[in-house]
Structure 1
């Protein structure tokens, strides 16, 4: 047991992969254990070069494709609405669905050995590793740790994604003060950043040590939602700007409007800039914005970029060199120079489309894997392949199902 500020914090454990809430309200605490897969993966074969793969959810299941040929390598029926999240190791994804987060092995990876690498391929599979969650929410890989948040209980779980290859990562867990639609992430020092809120509202973030001691906090972030990283600098969206977290320093960057919501962001490992959406109508049933935000995390400043069309929360991405990408409802992939906050190119990819009112419903989305952008077109059951070096559509893969979410790995 730990004693913090007169509050007794009890360490509990995980059994059979089920997440058990631990600690007392107001004092996040941690514990460790592991879960075992239910089946053994097929033997891997060394291949000549990396073999990129795409995972896709649809109404009734999840499948894995060869990203080059479009061949279906796995088609697994799964009930309920499913989401796909990078697990953090470049090989596995976490499938969010009823009951929790389950690891999906895409079956393709490369072991790096200094000046060369060895690429491997095997059959993709849904593994037996699951983190139980009443309402699985955000998944954040960062700095060799992957952190997941259960909106239904406020339980937070983190693990080393490299251990997924063995099937049994050890899990560290904390408990937020109250359940809410939140997000948490471990920084490079083992500290935890987590959102603060309840079922009615959200107000800010806390930075705590692994033992639960508070290092910094801010309540200047109404409606806090989403996160991104500019290298090691973290950014969290608010309804009136963003919070920038650099070490233990938290800086508020105000939006130019009283209500200027930035709820979805796209960061970059080597860029100081973060791309965000930007909404100004607090009362809209569904606002279809035509501006995005560019936040400079070094100067704590924000600029807005006008686009010729609206976009959705699945429209944001970054190029390998850090430019911003926005998939518009005009069917074009817009490229933005983040240093100048100017649109520099617009690539025709899909037909014009309109964002549906229900966020569960399929719509075109953008997924960037290496130097390739993949853009789904549910209306035609296709995924279009865009070479980001030439900004040209180089292929279109026919899909067996209407795509909902899409994630890729380089292999």
Structure 2
């Protein structure tokens, strides 16, 4: 049976919040007793852990930021940012955007993916500052929270900004470049040491310092992006563009939709972080799956329309989807058959147009219900069972799983 967990507020941002989060580590998550020669992802002042310090970092409608430690089931108040309209996360940072800029929150917990193994870290959480811009920015991140770049595109001004992610890991907000483009929809997508700026129906590659690289690539109505272990995906009206880096140079490949398809295009992608397959809603037709290793799309029919989808991309090929009445479906990624379904959890939030998010990791899924004032942990491998239900002190309007 699910159980409701009241969250206990520990401290405000500053010295007290740092102490509170540092004190949340369970014995299994203590710093490793011996140093490792592999320092990937490590930064000065961070403790390496034996397992990931997973948490749910949330922001309410007034900009109050809270962090729930999933091991200790305690919560810490990290302070306040400008009231957000949207929030994007890479698993460490939260980028809270509104019409005048982007506020950046460092949860202080992250995982470094080294392909065949992982490293886990904890440092002091912090509110890092704001990046000014006109219009609610689209945000694109890579799989690294200590290297490379983070892209922001401000639609009202057309400004394309690349932030230095290594500088973020040191508590500094540094712009690598700020380029002028035509106002409208757009993306700035990091790809290795390069960045792709998608706007005005084309993709232009740049170095990390903003210098143009090579020819532009057509991409009508760019929308949606995600970085996998293979490369960075950008959605276009006729398919997707995949950007990889080979021998120090960017490589651009087009992945068109299957010939003759009539399903609506993908405009937003989601998956278990780093995995090669990404999922996107295909209107009422079901779910698009894009395998970036195979460079191939698959249209996965679902027995009913869904409003969100994410690819777990595990050995069972699970795909998770959210229905309009707030149920979480566990879908067979080959046949589209529903393996399990939760009870309606976030129907009221969806009906009210609230920003519900369904997030998957290797073992669990997480869901926020702003109207319901709840967050849920779902065991999708066990008949979509609600494993834990959390009742935060402030409304979880936006949230992210951090430490992953």
- TM-score interval (norm. to shorter): 0.7 to 0.9
For the structure 1 residues 111 and 297, does the alpha-carbon distance in structure 2 shift closer, same or farther, using more than 3 Å as the test? closer
For the structure 1 residues 293 and 164, does the alpha-carbon distance in structure 2 shift closer, same or farther, using more than 3 Å as the test? same
Query: CA offset at residue 104 of structure 1?
Result: 1.3
> Is 1:319 matched with 2:323?
no
- Structure 2 unaligned residues grouped into runs of 5+: 1-12, 30-51, 245-249
Contact 1:83/1:405 (8 A) holds in 2:
yes
Give distance in 2, aligned partners of 1:376 and 1:268.
17
Q: Encode CA deviations 1:94-132: one digit per residue, 9 max, x unaligned.
A: 22234322221324457999999776465x4433x2221
The secondary structure found in structure 2 opposite 1:85 is strand
Give distance in 2, aligned partners of 1:112 and 1:238.
28
Give distance in 2, aligned partners of 1:369 and 1:291.
22
Contact 2:198/2:204 (8 A) holds in 1:
yes
Provide TM-score, normalisation by structure 2.
0.73
Give distance in 1, aligned partners of 2:56 and 2:302.
29
Match of 1:345 in 2: 339
Give distance in 1, aligned partners of 2:320 and 2:257.
23
Give distance in 2, aligned partners of 1:399 and 1:162.
32
Give distance in 2, aligned partners of 1:217 and 1:58.
40
> Is 1:309 matched with 2:304?
yes
Match of 1:206 in 2: 204
Contact 1:147/1:159 (8 A) holds in 2:
yes
Match of 1:378 in 2: 370
Greater mean deviation of Cα atoms: 46-55 or 347-356: 347-356
Give distance in 1, aligned partners of 2:121 and 2:216.
44
Contact 1:156/1:174 (8 A) holds in 2:
yes
The secondary structure found in structure 2 opposite 1:163 is helix
Give distance in 1, aligned partners of 2:280 and 2:342.
22
| RMSD (Å), alpha carbons | 3.6
The secondary structure found in structure 2 opposite 1:164 is helix
Give distance in 2, aligned partners of 1:402 and 1:45.
24
Give distance in 2, aligned partners of 1:241 and 1:382.
36
Give distance in 1, aligned partners of 2:82 and 2:22.
32
Give distance in 2, aligned partners of 1:78 and 1:270.
28
Provide TM-score, normalisation by structure 1.
0.72
For the structure 1 residues 192 and 109, does the alpha-carbon distance in structure 2 shift closer, same or farther, using more than 3 Å as the test? closer
